[in-house]
Each structure stands twice: as structure tokens, then as C-alpha cells.
A and B are shown apart, each in its own frame.
Chain A
Amino acid sequence: MPRYIPHDYRSPLRPTWCKGCSFYNVLAALTGVLAEKQIDPHRLNVISGIGCSSRMTLYLNTFGMHTIHGRALPVAVGSRLANPDLPVIVAAGDGDFFSIGIGHFVHAARKNFDMTVICLDNRMYAMTKNQASPTSCVGFRGTLTPWGKTSVPLNVLEFAIACDATFVARTVAGLQRHMQEMIGLGLGHRGFSFIEVIAPCRTFDRAATLASLSSRVVDINRENRHDPVDKKAALAAAVKALDYDASDDAPVHIGVFRESAVPTFEEQIANIKKTHKKKSSFSSILKKYSL
């Protein structure tokens, strides 16, 4: 008998998400993976920013930090450095990661902190009631862009690969098994794992449905035999994956786009500590300042 079942990872709080919001599926996938891995709830820190998506932390009964808009990653960095034995999951929205917080994303990815970073991508700001986000498509009509968004959507997969994230994957909130598989691989990966979950907003985006998205998926690893170890191939696959909303039957590419084995920031710090640690007492430290 396993110690934990998925429900054991749920906090008593009832989600305030709209009925039919795709984030419920992400929550289910998360609790599913945690139960699969039998992670103790008190031995995990789940960190988020602000947004509908970021409320995820509040619905888990693990340790969690529901922080401020755009700043989940630096907080996660502090948590990782203070206790490298405590795994960290970061869950937030496309606006949180790639608009206000995009600077932090670049650095956390490039430094290869060992954390699992899940972007619940509804391609808009939902919490503030329908504005364009960096991942919204051209022409997106948000309350602050009534005449249509003019810039092309940010390709978060390409961006994460360019930032040297060492694990980059995509899944769809309609595919429970695949979602669990990707999050599970991310948790198992040593280093910065980025997972984009295509998770449309039920309330402000009636066009993108989970059923339609899920029916159009192409698993790049199984069907296209994509090799995530090759960075050039990963970038090419990411570029091809962007236009899944070009037409009603455009393929939705999912799977592991990038995977590489590089020492994590934490491992490198541990090495520095090992070589420079002469375990000094306070009085011996003071000697450096003697007259």
C-alpha cells in the first residue's frame, strides 16, 4: 500500500477557479505525480507568483509560497540554496513568467538551478480579466488592446532552450497521462526543467478547447523521433511548434524538446563549499581583520 494517494496532496482549500478551468487538470496531474513519487508533503516547496495559475500552491498541502507577481523564481532560488535537499516546484502563468518576470527566467534557467518550472499557459492574463500576454497571438483583443495585439507571440519553448534550460517540454492540460509523464520527467531531471502546459482559459477564451487541442497533438519524441540532446534540433523543433493555433487542424507538438546533462548551480556551490570549507570558528574568521 502506498503511503500517499493523490488526494493527500490537496489542501483543505477549495479552488476558486471557474468551472471548467483547465487548471483543475494540472492540479490533478501534479497530485498524481507526487503520489507516484511518494514525495512527503512536508518535504516539498511549491512556489508561485500571482495570477489564476499561481493559486496552485494554495491548493496543495505541501509547503508553499504564494509570492508576488513575476517573482516566484528568485524566491525559489533562495529556497534551493538554503536547503538543496528540499525539492522545489515553481508554478505560474505565462504573464507571470514571461512578462513581468521574464528577466528572472533568463537567469534561473542559465544558472541551471535544480527546480521544476511549470508554466500554465493560457496565452493571456486571466486574473485581471482578459489582457494580452507575451504568448497571446497577433490580433488578440484584450481589454487593453481593443484593436488587436500587434506583436507576434513569444515562443516560450524556443526562448527556454535559448536560455539554456536543461530540460524543456510541452504538454496539454487535456492529456492527463502525458502531463503526468512530463512533470514526472521534469522532477526527475537534475537541473532547470521547464514545462509548458497548454491550458486555455475557459472563461475568456471560448475558442481554444482542451478537446480540440488534445485531439491534434503530435508527440515529437514518439512520432517525429526528435532527439532532445541536440540543441540545434531542439531549437528547430521549438520553432515548428509555435503555430498550433494557425488553423483548426494545425498539429499541437508535445513532448521533450530539450534535455542536457550539465552540473546544477547547487552542485557547483557544494563543490566550492567543499574546497573552501576549513570550517572556521568566528574567532579565526576575525583574524583576517587583525592589525
Chain B
Amino acid sequence: MRQSVPSFICRIAISGEAGDGIMSAGDILMKAAAREGFDVAVAKSFPSNIRGGYSRSLVTIAEKPVVSPIGDCAVICALSSNAFLRDTPCLSPRTLVLVETNAHADGVCRDRFDRLIAAGLTVFSVPVLRLARETAGNSVVKSTVALGILGGLLALGSASLRSATAERFGEKGAELIELNRIALDAGFRWVRRHIDRKHRLPVPARRAGYARKERFVLEGNQAVALGAIAAGCTFFASYPITPATAVGEALSHLMPACGGIAYQAEDEIAALGAAIGASFTGAKAMTATSGPGLSLMQEFLGYASMAELPVVVVDVQRAGPSTGMPTNHGQEDLLAAIFGSHGETQRIVIAPATVEECFSATVTAFNCAERYQCPVIVLSDGTLGMTGKTVAKSALKSPRVVNRKVFIGKDDKRWLRYRLTDSGISPLTIPGLSSVTYRATGIEHNEDATPAATPSERCAQNAKRCNKLRHIETEFDNPVLWDLEPANDAPLDAGICAWGLTALIAREAVVSLRKEGFRIAAVYPRLLFPVCIEAFNRWADLCELQIVVEANVTGQFCSLLRMNTRARPRSLTVSRGEPFTPSEITACIRSIITGERAG
């Protein structure tokens, strides 16, 4: 049998301190490699301060579309001691490590440097800072020198790196562009002189026919903004908060051209309040925030459920509680998104796993909000929101859009705003279209929207609000993504479930586990709430050992499955401000399975 050539994939970490230009370097490398015909993703980590603190761009360059933007690196390029220490424990011996000469000069760093060499890794001390000063006469371009070095190592075309760099700094003037060009060349030259060919990792030849025109470069938060526009959103309100601000930044630029408005509110309560006011008035409306803002929005979420008004809330999660770790990864808001607010509020929670799904999930969120007349929460997270990626144009092709059915008619018996219907969905109208009117209220009410407090009226409306979401699992397009073994009789080793960004990382782990011979039934829910009961009961029937992987400490989705389905999964969690890596998931699941087998 002919061995198939594995397709090229190379992951590179560039790290240093905030203010070192690490984020720009990641973006430039992504753009240059994308233009050379590769699929690229860049995941960013940075501290919440403007200057200082560990900061890293993780760039994955691949021949096939990148699955996980997170994973083990082939190359580590650390520009500060702090970054060197953070990025170099437990590396595979095949990793190539580049470290700024000054960053391993003494103490712990020197020890680490020696230990890496003793462990058989290839380690280069790179005088990035000196090269920047000597050639460009300015240390600000040190990350560009590093880029040149990486470009040389990968044998990327210097022209594409040059133009991507020039575009990035274009606004800052010709002088800076020239300095950066010099810095890039210095990096390339240094590789030619000091790194032996056997250590280089040249990318395969440029891929013909993979034209620039077919792809975009998008970050998760931008994809959310574009999804909103594609869904017909014309009103957005927000209050700045890391890591969600970029959704509003994108929409502030896009909205005027779409005839809509992006409004900066005085706080998150006002942002959701304004979105609800706009929705009542007829606009498709959205707000975006992160954990602290979601906490402030609780009372209005309940109002939107009670008054049955469509609204979309994007929560770009960060590690909490309280201020927590503003720029760090976490999937900790799930239960707050589902249950937060007093009383029992009917709502829908959706989680995208990829940049492409940030687009489609936002469209779906609007479609659901309009259809079911309730708040819909899109649970993204900071890592996904800030992950940049090449996205095929076909992923953004005009999606199916649901518009609310507006009642237009006379004020007769047919018009009852909260009419008890079989579906639970009642007629809705907006001001100005016909002579019917109504008063939305958060007070329990009867069919014609007037306050009502008898037990029977209460029960009828409560049941109606619950009923409308009863069949959502069948009404929703692809509520879960299945990844099953080809049907045969061999028993399964484990069932794996993960949601949001962790699903993407787990997908890579599942590939590795299968290569090792394990048989896995994987399921990745997109609709998190109401829980996909049928899908997860099926999953529970398929495999005895079920594992839910998620980035929180209490296993939130795992408990939700235990509450609602036959599944009795184990919980595999991490809550450290960084996502899982595929190899960690692989190792943990391998040991759970082998532990099970042993007995």
C-alpha cells in the first residue's frame, strides 16, 4: 500500500512582552503565508495592560484548512526571558527553539537554555535586539527582525512578508516601512548565515490555483459582526469590554453603510436596554459583551423573555469571576448564560467553535430570536474572538435569513399579542404599521398583554413561553456536529463531547486518538440550550464511557447533560486562563480509557 504523504502543517509561536509588536508580527506572518497559498490561523494571547506582560502569537500554517489554532509548536521564538520561560517547559525534542540572546543571559533562563540543549532540542540564541539596532538603528523593529528570521526558516517569499509588513505599518509613514524592510532583510540574512539547512522548515512549493480572491482573513469577533450584518441587524449597542470590544469596533465602521447604527451606551444595562427598545420598534438588535457585562444584563434578559422580544446577546467569555483574567481564555459563563436572571427565563444559547461558525452562529442567533421571540445568547470566547484565520469565501455566502412575522391588521379578535397558540409563538407587531398597538410588560400578563395574576393565567402563559422552545432541537439546523466511527460492530472506547473553541481543539485530539487505534464517538453541540436531548441520549446509548471536555473548573456542560439526558459523562476540565491543547486532551483521554480497561 502506498503511504500517503502527510500534508504540511507547521505551528510557530512568537512571544515576548506586550508592546514588543508580537500581535503585529502574528498578523503579518499570517497574511504573508496566506498569500503564498496556505491556510493560516493565528491565536493571540496578551495581558490586559498596554505595555509589559507575556504576549504571544501562535501561527499555524497548513496546506489543508486549519482545524485547531491551538497545539504543539514546531518553532518557538521567544523575545523576552519571561516568554522564554513560559513557552519552553515540556517541549517535544523536535521543537526548534529561538531565543533572543539577552533573554537567556543569566539565572533561571540560562539554566533552562542549558537544559533544553541537554534534552536534545535544537536551540539557537538569536541576537534580535542587536540586529535591530545595528541594521535599522532602532529597537522598535525587533519583532520584524524575528519575522525575517522566521521567514527565512520557512523559506517564505520575502516579497510577501515585505508587502504584508508595509501594509501593516503603511499608515505610519514611509520611514517606518523602510526600517521594517531593513529589519526583515537582516532576519533573512541571519538565517542564511547561521542556521544550517537541516534545521530549516521550508514550506512546500506555492500552491497554484489557490488564489487570494477566494479567501478572507477574519477574526472571530469580526465574523460575529459580519454575521450580524448578513442576518439583517440594524441596531447594535455596546459598552467597551475586553475581549468583546472588537465586535462593536467592526460594527461601528460597517453600520452606516448598511443603514444601521452602532451605539456606544453608558453601561451594559443600557446597551441591552437600548437593543430591546430597538427590537420592539422593529429593528433586529444585538449587543456584545463579556462576563462582567453579562452579569449586569441579567434583569433585562428576564424582561426580554417575559415580554417575548427578540434580541441577540454575544458573550465573548473571559476567565472570571469578577474582573478575573480579562484577556484570558475560559468557558465559564455557560450556566450564567442559561440560567442567569431571576425567575425562569426562556432563552436560547448557541456556541460557535470556529471563526466561520462565529459568522453562521450569529446569523442563526438572529433567526432564532426572530422566530421564537426571545433572547438568544451567542457564547464565544476571547481566544476564539481574537483568532485570525483564512476563511473561504463560500463560508460567508448569503445565509438563510428569518424575518419576524409582523401582524398587520385591524384590532379585532385575531390580534392578541400573547395569544395561546399550539406552537407557543404569538403574533407580534411593530409600531407604525397598522392600527393595532400593545404595551410590552415584564409583569405577568394574559393573552392581550394586560397584567394578570390568577393561577390559571400564570400557568397558561408560562407554559406557552416554555412550549415555544420545546421542539427547537428538530427545528434547528444541525444542532450538533457528529463525528462517529464508520458503522461496524467493534465496541467504542469512548464518547467525547466538547463545545465552543474546545470542540475545535478536541477534534484534533480525536484524530490523534483514532490514529492510536481508539474508537471514539464525538459530538460537538452548537445549540447548548435548550439541551439537545435526543442527540445526547443517542450518544449515551452509543458509548458507555462518556467524557465532556470544557474550559471551566466545575464541568458546566457536563452537569447540564446529567440534568437533562441519559448521558452520565465524566468531566475533563481545565481552568487556567489558557485553552486545552490537543495533545493534553489526547493524553488525558488515553489515560481515562486505559484506566477503564485496566479495571
Residues of A at the B interface (CB closer than 8 Å) are 11-13, 41-45, 47, 57-58, 60-68, 71, 73-83, 85-86, 103-104, 106-107, 269, 272-273, 276-280, 282, 285-286, 288-291
- The residue that B390 contacts in the complex, of A65, A273, A282, A291, with Cβ under 8 A, is A291
B247 at the A interface (CB under 8 A)? no
Alpha-carbon gap, A279 to B258, bound state (A): 6
Chain A residues lying within 8 Å of B216, measured Cβ to Cβ, are 286, 289-291
Judging by beta carbons under 8 Å apart, are B432 and A85 in contact?
Answer: yes
Encoded as 1 (CB less than 8 Å from any A CB) or 0, chain B from 278 to 303 comes to 11111101000000000000011001
Alpha-carbon gap, A45 to B285, bound state (A): 18
Chain B residues lying within 8 Å of A285, measured Cβ to Cβ, are 226, 229, 254, 257-258
Alpha-carbon gap, A277 to B269, bound state (A): 29
Chain A residues lying within 8 Å of B217, measured Cβ to Cβ, are 289-291
The verdict on A83 contacting B274 (CB below 8 Å), with A61-B437, A71-B269 known, is no
Q: Chain A: which residue is nearest B266 at the CB level?
A: A107
- The residue that B276 contacts in the complex, of A73, A75, A277, with Cβ under 8 A, is A75
Alpha-carbon gap, A282 to B229, bound state (A): 8
- The residue that B266 contacts in the complex, of A62, A103, A273, with Cβ under 8 A, is A103
B169 at the A interface (CB under 8 A)? no
Encoded as 1 (CB less than 8 Å from any A CB) or 0, chain B from 422 to 454 comes to 000000000111111111111100000011000
Encoded as 1 (CB less than 8 Å from any A CB) or 0, chain B from 196 to 219 comes to 000000000000000011011110
Closest 10 A/B residue pairs (Cβ)? A78-B277, A74-B273, A78-B274, A82-B278, A74-B270, A75-B277, A64-B439, A78-B278, A276-B256, A82-B283
Which residue, of B279, B280, B299, B300, has the highest number of chain A Cβ atoms within 10 A? B280
Judging by beta carbons under 8 Å apart, are B212 and A65 in contact?
Answer: no
Judging by beta carbons under 8 Å apart, are A66 and B441 in contact?
Answer: yes
Number of chain B residues close to chain A: CB under 8 A: 65
Judging by beta carbons under 8 Å apart, are A86 and B222 in contact?
Answer: no
Alpha-carbon gap, A150 to B596, bound state (A): 68
Q: Chain A: which residue is nearest B450 at the CB level?
A: A13
Alpha-carbon gap, A67 to B276, bound state (A): 10
Judging by beta carbons under 8 Å apart, are B437 and A83 in contact?
Answer: no
B325 at the A interface (CB under 8 A)? no
The verdict on A82 contacting B435 (CB below 8 Å), with A74-B265, A104-B266, A291-B216 known, is no
Q: Chain A: which residue is nearest B256 at the CB level?
A: A276
Judging by beta carbons under 8 Å apart, are B274 and A67 in contact?
Answer: no
Judging by beta carbons under 8 Å apart, are B437 and A63 in contact?
Answer: yes
Judging by beta carbons under 8 Å apart, are B281 and A67 in contact?
Answer: no
Alpha-carbon gap, A277 to B390, bound state (A): 28
Can you identify 16 A-B contacts, CB atoms within 8 angstroms? A13-B450, A41-B437, A45-B281, A58-B450, A62-B437, A65-B277, A74-B270, A80-B277, A83-B281, A103-B267, A107-B265, A277-B259, A285-B226, A285-B254, A291-B215, A291-B217
- The residue that B282 contacts in the complex, of A75, A76, A83, A282, with Cβ under 8 A, is A83
Chain A residues lying within 8 Å of B267, measured Cβ to Cβ, are 103
Encoded as 1 (CB less than 8 Å from any A CB) or 0, chain B from 106 to 121 comes to 0000000000000000
B404 at the A interface (CB under 8 A)? no
Q: Chain B: which residue is nearest A12 at the CB level?
A: B450
B263 at the A interface (CB under 8 A)? yes
B234 at the A interface (CB under 8 A)? yes
The verdict on A78 contacting B275 (CB below 8 Å), with A43-B431, A67-B303 known, is yes
Judging by beta carbons under 8 Å apart, are A74 and B269 in contact?
Answer: yes
Chain B residues lying within 8 Å of A269, measured Cβ to Cβ, are 261
* Nearest-Cβ distance from residue B436 to partner chain A, whole angstroms: 7
Using a CB-CB cutoff of 8 Å, which residues 393-442 of chain B contact chain A? 393, 396, 398, 431-442
Alpha-carbon gap, A13 to B440, bound state (A): 14
Judging by beta carbons under 8 Å apart, are B439 and A272 in contact?
Answer: no
Judging by beta carbons under 8 Å apart, are A107 and B35 in contact?
Answer: no
Q: Known contacts A75-B273, A290-B216; can you find 10 more A-B pairs with CB under 8 A?
A: A66-B442, A78-B274, A79-B280, A81-B274, A82-B234, A277-B256, A285-B258, A289-B216, A290-B215, A291-B217
- The residue that A81 contacts in the complex, of B230, B254, B278, with Cβ under 8 A, is B278
B464 at the A interface (CB under 8 A)? no
Alpha-carbon gap, A45 to B439, bound state (A): 9
Judging by beta carbons under 8 Å apart, are A78 and B269 in contact?
Answer: no
- The residue that A280 contacts in the complex, of B230, B258, B279, with Cβ under 8 A, is B258
Which residue, of A71, A78, A289, has the highest number of chain B Cβ atoms within 10 A? A78
B59 at the A interface (CB under 8 A)? no
* Nearest-Cβ distance from residue B59 to partner chain A, whole angstroms: 15
Judging by beta carbons under 8 Å apart, are A76 and B277 in contact?
Answer: yes
Judging by beta carbons under 8 Å apart, are B276 and A78 in contact?
Answer: yes
Judging by beta carbons under 8 Å apart, are A81 and B390 in contact?
Answer: no
Judging by beta carbons under 8 Å apart, are B270 and A82 in contact?
Answer: no
The verdict on A86 contacting B261 (CB below 8 Å), with A76-B277, A291-B35 known, is no
Alpha-carbon gap, A289 to B356, bound state (A): 13
The verdict on A278 contacting B257 (CB below 8 Å), with A42-B436, A67-B303 known, is yes
Alpha-carbon gap, A61 to B431, bound state (A): 12
Alpha-carbon gap, A79 to B542, bound state (A): 50
* Nearest-Cβ distance from residue A257 to partner chain B, whole angstroms: 25
Chain B residues lying within 8 Å of A63, measured Cβ to Cβ, are 280, 431, 437-439
Which residue, of A13, A47, A82, A106, has the highest number of chain B Cβ atoms within 10 A? A82
Alpha-carbon gap, A17 to B473, bound state (A): 45
Chain A residues lying within 8 Å of B431, measured Cβ to Cβ, are 42-45, 63, 83, 86
Chain B residues lying within 8 Å of A44, measured Cβ to Cβ, are 431
* Nearest-Cβ distance from residue B299 to partner chain A, whole angstroms: 5
Alpha-carbon gap, A73 to B300, bound state (A): 13
Chain B residues lying within 8 Å of A65, measured Cβ to Cβ, are 277, 280, 307, 439-441
Alpha-carbon gap, A86 to B280, bound state (A): 12
* Nearest-Cβ distance from residue A52 to partner chain B, whole angstroms: 13
* Nearest-Cβ distance from residue A49 to partner chain B, whole angstroms: 10
Which residue, of A71, A73, A107, has the highest number of chain B Cβ atoms within 10 A? A71
Alpha-carbon gap, A235 to B218, bound state (A): 52
